[in-house]
Amino acid sequence: MQEYYKESLQDPIFNIIGLAAKELSLDCYVIGGFVRDFFLKRSTAKDIDIVAIGSGIALAKKVAEMLPNQPKVSVFKNFGTAMLKHNGIELEFVGARKESYNRDSRKPIIENGTLKDDQKRRDFTINALALSLNETDFGKLLDPFDGIKDLDNKLIKTPLEPGITYSDDPLRMMRAIRFATQLNFEIQTNSLLAITDNKERMAIVSKERIIDELHKIIGSAKPSMGFQLLHETGLLHLILPELTALEGIEEIEGQKHKDNFWHTLEVVDNIALHTDDIWLRWAALLHDIGKAPTKRFDKKIGWTFHAHEFVGSKMVYKLFKRLRMPLNEHMKFVQKMVLMSSRPVVLSQNNVTDSAVRRLVFDAGDYVDDLMTLCEADITTKNPKKQKKYKNNFKIVRQKIIEVEERDHVRNFQPPITGEEIMKTFNLKPSKEIGILKDAIKEAILEGEIPNEYDPALIFMMKKGKKMGLTVSNQIT
Ligand code: CTP
């Protein structure tokens, strides 16, 4: 049966590409993510892949010539590919190839091939679907590896024997897990086994590409699905050993601690329901990593993870560095979240005082809402009574934050009295007394002794200065 899907090719660009191919007397097809997403009714990809039976570079140049604005064509000669941008969409052109790969790098050795040769060398059957752009059969589906069936069965399957597909390009192991997570598909059993067998080959994949896939897994609706698969295949241990180190429950003298690995995955799924911020999700993933190196058993108090937040925040830096993630404000944000991850918990367990809330807002600054979101996601108890109690406590903390904020403005705290004014008042040169006074004013505000306002702060400073033996300058009195 021949099936046509012209309705997916309504954008005039597809006709232009077909005409350009006709002028060059070659056939061409749209392939990959665009076709897959059309059948999945997902919002269409930002890039469109075109395969030419002949030179993809020549086709790209011809298309550019025919477009009114004649866009620039970027040519990647080594890969035999070319790209141009049209209406904000990246059009990628490649010549159909029979590929075999160099074992030590991801660079393919390229030979010209038929459409089927090209489809066979792609990662998954669902990504090997092609639609014709040729005049004679415009819109015809070419699906020699039953990709449509796998879409229906929600299955990630390789066109070739999986060992070959993954060995050709080991990044595909991450892609398999990423697609399974994003699309809620299953990975075919022999494919999963092949990933386990080939996991060490991830070593030749650049960290940046690995992180791109990890970001997409973390950005999915249920990230734990991807992390479970990464764990099951052994990839997680190679990429994020800090996480797998959290797995397991130990028991000494009848006392157990929770399995912090599976707990962490629950926290990530929880937070995914409340935020799309990828860095806050990273913070959830890493919030407990300090627990593995700090775990101790104390005969009196049982299991402890003393200072795990501090140790964890230091580990964040090393982890980001190792994975070539940006060491910028995103990393600092994750560090801060990890460092402060227990603060609201401690608050919610006791009677919440205004001064404790003020300190929390002062320390967390603009991140206080994110911190609360993280801590709420951290509630994974299966005891409904406790679950309700903790959630309710956090509600109270959130309400207090609003009240304290309205009254005291300690978020991104600006001292009501500047160092310069302190120097002038007491006729001081730069010295440690200024720091002491500034700190005392800040502490008095946080403790609620004085409001965060100029006049009360001035009176407080005068008194404190006198106590310190400082004299008020003549010009002031
Ligand atoms: N592809 C492949 N092996 C890879 C990467 C890509 O075979 N390691 C092929 C697949 O056919 C894929 C197409 O190239 O569909 C385009 O790749 P890419 O743009 O990375 O992914 P998409 O499938 O478009 O999906 P997404 O946009 O979600 O990344």
Ligand 1 atom closest to the Cα of residue 106 is: 8
Q: Is the CB of 172 under 6 A from ligand 1?
A: yes
Q: Is the CB of 47 under 6 A from ligand 1?
A: yes
Mean pLDDT (whole number) for 105-130: 87
DSSP 169-219: -THHHHHHHHHHHHHT-EEPHHHHHHHHHHGGGGGGS-HHHHHHHHHHHHT
Q: Is the CB of 171 under 6 A from ligand 1?
A: yes
239: pLDDT strictly greater than 80? yes
pLDDT, one tens digit per residue, over 398-434 is 998 998 888 888 887 888 999 999 999 999 999 999 9
Mean pLDDT (whole number) for 99-111: 62
If pLDDT is split at 50, 70 and 90, which confidence band does 44 have?
low
**Residues of the chain above pLDDT 70, percent:** 96
Say how far apart CA 194 and CA 20 lie, in whole Å. Answer: 41
Q: How far is the CA of 10 from the centre of ligand 1 (A)?
A: 22
Say how far apart CA 163 and CA 5 lie, in whole Å. Answer: 33
> How far is the CA of 338 from the CAs of 52, 252, 412, 466, in angstroms?
50, 28, 19, 41
Q: Choose which residue among 49, 120, 195 to substitute to test ligand 1 binding: the one with the highest number of ligand atoms within 8 A of its C-beta.
A: 49
Give nearest CA residue, ligand 1 atom 22. 33
pTM check: above 0.85: yes
pLDDT, one tens digit per residue, over 255-269 is 989 899 999 999 999
Q: Is the CB of 242 under 6 A from ligand 1?
A: no
Q: What angle do CA 106, 112, 117 make, to 5 degrees?
A: 80
Say how far apart CA 402 and CA 388 lie, in whole Å. Answer: 21
Which residue from 286, 278, 290, 203 is spatially nearest to 240, judged by alpha carbons?
286
Which residue from 463, 465, 457 is spatially nearest to 426, judged by alpha carbons?
465
Element housing 74 (H / E): strand 74-76
